[in-house]
Amino acid sequence: MSDLLTDVLVVGGGPAATWAALKAAEDGARVVLADKGWCGTSGATAAGGTGVWYVPPEPAAREAAMASREGLGGYLADRRWMARVLDETYDRINELAVEGRYPFPTGTDGQPLRGGLQGPEYMRRMRVRVRRAGVRILDHSPVTELLTDRDGAVAGAAGHRRQAGELGRAGRRPARAVPRLGQRRHLAGRRGRRGGAPPDGERRRAPRPPRGGGTRTGEVLPYDKNYLRHGEGLSEALRSLDAGWAQLRARLHGEGAGLVKARQAAAMTAHARWMYASALARTESRGMARRLDHPEQDPAQHHRILAGGLDRVWAGPAAGRGTGVAV
């Protein structure tokens, strides 16, 4: 077990993570970045090209840019956040061109074309910049849980360092954070049950492949369920995923590298259940969320959907709801 003290812990290694780590380090913070892959090559951006919402700070151009995107999101977008994204993107892309020396192409008029990036080159340069800023990068170090201090505030995270073959923790006060990760975990145990052996004392291994894996992919990947959505198909898929979650709850355990696979199986199953519960809660077609049995847009449903819960998943209009996943 290794503990790392740091001011800022960034989990992930894509564009958002590397920019966050870079800016925190430039502000004088001690920064650790933990990536489940190899920072600079992991994630969707590093594998291909990516479009960039690069719009000069001219009122007419910004207004046109925001208006052009609102329909895709079913007119649920917050203009304040859109403006912040446009400001941040414009500044960061210009910084990448000057300080990161990214080779943007030029148009026939001699002006740089900054509306797109080649992922491999972009992320290679971001890794270099992050390391030069003094960030400690933990490659191949998937995080398995967040750690809290005695007041309940998130103070760090724990995970598995694959290259070192050991468990590790990083954060502001790892010594005061929730319990040691060196023991066997009950993957989906109730709050308060943090570690130790299963209730009956039996040492059990994670199924191979993990229980619920086939159910998860079988309900999420087929186009006739997840793309050509219909209430009956969504309900059937959600029932199957709920049953899969019950199996995970009872049987899926892991330690070391096995804990990573167990956490991934649980996270993907939970996400799939929130996704389908949210789709069932929106009985209309809005933006890119389409329902074959409700093809029209309903003005009364001009709201976001929040979803949450583990053993009992819930989903409903954002207004009046507590913490959840916004959809």
What residue numbers bound the domain in which 235 lies?
213-326
CA separation for the pair 234, 238 (Å, rounded): 6
Flag whether 158 is in a domain: no
Percent of the chain with pLDDT over 90: 65
Amino acid 170: pLDDT: 86
Verify that 134 and 224 share a domain, yes or no.
Answer: no
Flag whether 292 is in a domain: yes
Verify that 121 and 223 share a domain, yes or no.
Answer: no
CA separation for the pair 74, 305 (Å, rounded): 12
Axis-axis angle for helices 231-251, 213-220 (nearest 10): 160
Verify that 23 and 128 share a domain, yes or no.
Answer: yes
User: Tens digit of pLDDT for each residue in 22-75?
Assistant: 999 999 999 999 999 999 998 899 999 899 999 999 999 999 999 999 988 899
125 pLDDT higher than 90 = yes
Flag whether 164 is in a domain: no
CA separation for the pair 219, 227 (Å, rounded): 11
The last residue of a domain, from among 138, 158, 187: 138
Task: Give how many domains the chain has, as a whole number.
Answer: 2
Flag whether 57 is in a domain: yes
CA separation for the pair 30, 135 (Å, rounded): 7
Rounded to the nearest 5 degrees, what angle is found at the Cα of 264, between the Cα atoms of 158 and 129? Answer: 60
Say which CATH number the domain at 230 has: 1.20.58.100
Tally of helices (H runs) and strands (E runs) in the chain: 8, 14
174 pLDDT higher than 90 = no
User: Tens digit of pLDDT for each residue in 189-224?
Assistant: 223 333 333 333 333 343 444 444 567 789 999 999
* Spatial contact of 156 and 165, defined as CB atoms under 8 Å apart: no
For residue 169 the two structure tokens come to 């923790």
Verify that 109 and 217 share a domain, yes or no.
Answer: no
Flag whether 172 is in a domain: no
Strands 31-34 and 8-11: parallel
